[in-house]
Amino acid sequence: MNRQSGPIVHSRQLNQLVRTIGRLVAIVLSICFLRALCPASKRLPSVFPFPRQASSLSLRASVVVINNNTNKINNSYSKKTSYIDMASTTNDAKAKAAERKKQFLEVWPKLETELVDMMKKHAMPEDATEWFKRVRFLSSVFFSTEMDDLINPLELELQYAVWETQSWHLCR
């Protein structure tokens, strides 16, 4: 009996040991499965004595976190660069508009000169007093002399100078 009972006891103990190990393995596997499903950020600190598996999981999780952060950084960087691009585009547009306005303004003095010349051609007086005196003189000459005598402009200027000195008081 003793010989028979000995191996039976050993086999029972061995069975119990195998069951216990199997339970432990099942528990560990289920925990590992749950850890893999659980988001890294919400995971509790690892207390299980499986450094290799835990470290690989945490490494994977940290890689995910790093990737997420990198994406965030990349996104923010791309946003910043897009803002910078927009700003530089706006600055370019403003600079271009300012340059265009400057070029446009540079045309004005030429047109202004043309318009002033046109007005001068229409005998607009530089000095209205002088212009009025000349008109008075010319009218007096026209009424007092024949048309043939008015051909020489130099003589007319001379007569005007004499007339101006003689009749200065009339123009005041």
Partner 1 sequence: MNYNTPFGKLNRGISVVDTFEILQGRPLTEEEFFKASVLGWCVELLQAFFLVADDMMDASITRRGQSCWYRVQGVGNIAINDSFMLEASIYHLLKVHFRNEACYSYLLELFLETTLKTEIGQLIDLISAPEDEVDLSKFSLKKCV
Question: What is the per-residue burial (b if ≥16 Cβ within 10 Å, else e) of 33-48?
Answer: eebeeeeeeeeeeeee
Query: Rounded to the nearest whole angstrom, what is the least distance from the CB of residue 112 to partner 1 in the complex?
Result: 7
- Is residue 101 at the binding interface for partner 1, with CB under 8 A as the rule? yes
Among 34, 118, 135, 162, binds partner 1 (CB under 8 A): 118
Label residue 123 left, alpha or beta by phi (over 0 means left) and psi (-120 to 50 means alpha). left
> Should residue 114 be labelled a site residue for partner 1 when binding is judged by CB under 8 A?
yes
Nearest to residue 141, comparing CAs of 130, 153, 129?
Answer: 153
Up-side HSE of residue 154: CA atoms within 13 Å toward CB? 0
**Which of 111, 123, 147, 154 is the binder for partner 1 (CB under 8 A)?**
111
94 counts as binding partner 1 under rule CB under 8 A:
no
Chain positions contacting partner 1, by CB under 8 A: 97, 100-101, 103-105, 107-108, 111-112, 114-115, 118-119
